[in-house]
Each structure stands twice: as structure tokens, then as C-alpha cells.
Amino acid sequence: MADFDFDLFVIGGGSGGVRAARMSANYGARVGLAEEFRYGGTCVIRGCVPKKLLVYASTFSQNFADAAGFGWEVGETRFDWLKLRDAKEAEITRLEGIYLRNLENAGVTPFHQHAVVTSPHSVRLADGREFTTKHILIATGGAPFVPGFQGSHLAITSNEVFDIGRLPKRVVIVGGGYIATEFAGIFNGLGSHVTQVYRRDLILRGFDDDIRTHVQQAMRGRGIDILLNEDIAHIEDMARHLEVHFKSGECREAGLVLYATGRNPNTAGLGLAETGVKLGPNGEVAVDEWSQSSVPSIYAVGDVTDRLALTPVAIREGAAFADTVFGANPTPADHSLVASAVFSQPEIGTVGMTEAQARETGPIEVYRATFQPMLNILAGRDEQMMMKLLVAGDSRPDSRRVLGVHIVGPAAGEMIQLAGIAVKMGATKEDFDRTVAVHPTAAEELVTMREPVSS
């Protein structure tokens, strides 16, 4: 056997790469890891974690307003963006330190610099050092982008938005996906006037249509201006503000233009194609169910594979890689029935098929409940909650199995985590029905819906 410097060299210190590195080291492998930016990756540094902190911050404005209906008198309030920004930075710095310590405690050798693949069994660092390795794992994630147009350099992405110097009075957000929708809620809750621009006729493409419609209407009810079938033509810098010109001819002022129209896998400049690694049309590393690329010694996990871009999925893929390659326990990455949440306002929790997807598989029953949650009654808010179950029809081999659960409203993300366990286990509608409701909760609607709305 060839004598390598490492058994595994990981490029990328995000959630997937760190999990794979730590587990592989715990299995006894000699592991090196190179991260050129900050340990923790997109999720910890400029994604899930800071975003959720901003979501929490933005909901207080509604809480202050709602408190009056419950007998509270709340005085004048004032929001300090810089105080929130600095608190956020302190927290992600703390988490970054934990990531690095966990790597070192596991015996991983970290390198804080860029690395490239120079052969199926070697990598070179930015300082010129080159190491041989039996296996290479690419875990470099993805990055947002701004398409090219006149004035595109004046827009920012989710990479930069967490560190802006002041809270803008007017924000234009381009995109209809979960990132754009979440930031629309954040800035609206913090007091900015928000315009969300989407080139299609309904936001949140890929989610269940009832959920999409419900959330879009609720966002408009909260004061977010959603422009559909629209896009930016160009942006002008007017010194004191940006002037955003739309393709329809309309023009609006903004203090900030945020683009959230997708992400590209980070594979440029890694030497992958030169080493023979097959890349997909978006630059993603093409891998099989074992996360192995076209070069047998090179693997990839996380967003760089463009499979299912969720942090917990990257972590599971990293763990499956370590189990397979170093744990003598071949484990394919499981991407079925992954529950997820969108921290829009109102919040979404979803697992399984959409109604359109379920109907393509055969006859189904649809159970749906729309109601005013108790939290909103005394507050005087007419915003509704929605819950939806999709159930396999009686004539199917999987008769009565719950195919999808979709929730919109307070704590939807918390609820869907538990509903996801039941769906993953193959629960039937009757299993839900046999479960005694927890009262008074919104979640009890999941086990009390008796009559389908359609078939």
C-alpha cells in the first residue's frame, strides 16, 4: 500500500466537511482539512444561524404590537441594527471556535487556506505545500450570485447582507425562493419597506401550491409589496439612494437591493476537471449514492453536489461517507422524506410530497384545515394558519399512508420535525387519527382532521 501523508484530505470546513472529517478521524483515519474562509461554512457564518437570529429579532415588532391585546402596555420601542449585527457576529465567532476545537480534539489537522486538487491522490495548499492522500473529499458548498446587467454591481447577496452598515429604509429583494422570502420577512419586521420581485406568478416554486398561495397572501397582509411577473432591468446609483428600474418600466427607490435568485456550487479553481472529475451543468460534482465522483478516490458532499441543499442533509452525507469509507459500514446517502422549514413570516414546515406530486403517483385524499390560531385572536390579527395532509387512496398498494404534511403558521418548523418522524416511519392517516390531541395547541389539528376536502 502506498504511503500517503493523509488517509483523507477534506477541502471545505462547513457542516458536511467537518462532520466527515471528525467521524473519519474517530475511526482512526489521518485527516487533514483546508478551509480558506471561516470554519462552519455557509450555515454557521452566513446562512442558517445568523439568518435565524435575524428572524427572531424581526418578530419582536409584531410581538410588541400583539401584546396590547393581552393587557400589556408597551412603551416606545427603538431598534438598533448595529447592536444586533455585533451580537450576531459574536455568536457566530463563538460557534466557529467550537467547530475548530472539535476538529482539533478529534485529531484532524486544519489548514486555514485555499487548497486545490492536483491529482487523484494529492492536494496543494495556497502556500505551496503539497500533500498526498488516499482519499479526497470536496465539501466546498455553494455561493449566491448576481446575474450580469447594467448596475448589477450595486446589488448584494446573502453573503454580504448580514454585515451591512445600517438598516435601509427601503429594500428591494429579487427572487421567490426561501432565502428571498425569509429576508423579505426579516427586513419587514425590522421596519424597512420591502418590495419582493419575482419573475413568476407565485413565490416559493417547488412547495405545495396551497402553501405558496397562503404565504404570499399573508406576506402581503403584513405589508410586504410583492411584484410578480417582474424583474430588474437596471440599477442606477443616485448617491443618496439606488434607483431600481423594472422591465415593466416602473421605477422605485431603494437603500439596498438584495439578490437571492439561486446558488452555484463552489467548484471553480479547485482543479477538479483537470483531475478528471465529472462536473454537472451547474458546475456541481457528479456523484453516486455513495457520494463518490467519477474519480474513485475523490468524493463530494453537501451543496457542492447540488443534490439537496440543506445543512442537515450535508451532515448526513458527511456521516454516510465516513461510515462507508472508514467505518466498514457502507451507507448510502438517504435523501427521501427530508423535513424542512422556511423561516418566512408566517413560517412553513413541510415533509413529503406536494399535492401535485402526490396526484402523479395515484389516487389521494387531501385533508386541509385553515383556522385562526389562539395566539392571534386576542391580538386582533386575522392571519390564518394552514395544515394539510396528503394521504394515499384506498385503491393503492400504500393505501392510507401519509404522503405529505404541510404547515404554515407559528412554530411550523418545530412541528414538522416531529411530523417528519411519523412520515418517515410510514404512518397512516389512521395512525394520526388514533393519536390523542394535545389541547389547546395548533398542532392538534394534525390529528383531528376527519373529512377529506377532495379525492
> 72 Cβ partners below 8 Å, 6+ apart?
none
- Evaluate if residue 454 carries a pLDDT over 90: no
Cα 306 from chain centre? 13
- Alpha carbons 292 and 299: distance in angstroms, whole number: 4
The predicted pLDDT at position 191 comes to 97
Q: Report if pTM > 0.85.
A: yes
Share of the chain above pLDDT 70, in %: 99
Domain annotation for the chain: domains and CATH numbers: 6-143+264-325 (3.50.50.60), 152-261 (3.50.50.60), 340-447 (3.30.390.30)
pLDDT band at 320 (very low <50, low <70, confident <90, very high): very high
Q: Is the pLDDT of residue 372 over 80?
A: yes
Is residue 241 among the annotated active site residues? no
CA distance 134 to 120: 8
Selection from 190, 260, 198 nearest residue 223 by Cα: 190
CA distances from 229 to 75, 232, 251, 275, 429 (A): 41, 11, 15, 43, 38
User: Which of the residues 121, 193, 234, 439 is marked catalytic?
Assistant: 439
Alpha-carbon radius of gyration of the chain: 24
Spatial neighbors of 394 by CB under 8 A, at least 6 apart, are: 363, 400
pLDDT in tens, 376-398: 999 999 999 999 999 999 999 99
> According to the model, what pLDDT value does residue 373 have?
94
Q: Please give the share of the chain, as a percent, with pLDDT higher than 90.
A: 99
Mean confidence (pLDDT) of the chain:
96
CA distances from 74 to 68, 242, 374, 383 (A): 7, 35, 21, 22
pLDDT for the residue 247: 97
Q: What is the pLDDT of residues 261-304, one digit of tens each?
A: 999 999 999 999 999 999 999 999 999 999 999 999 999 999 99
The one-letter amino acid at 437? A
pLDDT tens, 131-163? 999 999 999 999 999 999 999 999 999 999 999
Q: 16 pLDDT band (50/70/90 cuts)? A: very high
Query: Above 50 in pLDDT, residue 1?
Result: no
Q: What is the mean pLDDT of residues 40-45?
A: 93
What's the pLDDT tens digit per position in 180-197?
999 999 999 999 999 999
Residue type, 302: G
Q: Report in angstroms the alpha-carbon separations of 250 from 105, 195, 227.
A: 57, 13, 11
Encoded amino acid at 397, one letter: P
Q: How confident is the model at residue 356 (pLDDT cuts 50, 70, 90)?
A: very high
Closest CA to 29 of 138, 140, 139, 133: 133
Does the structure show a pLDDT above 60 at 210? Answer: yes
The pLDDT, as a whole number, for residue 13 is: 97
Using the predicted structure, report yes or no on whether residue 455 has a pLDDT greater than 90.
no
Is pLDDT of 2 > 90?
no
CA nearest 13: which of 115, 132, 130? Answer: 115
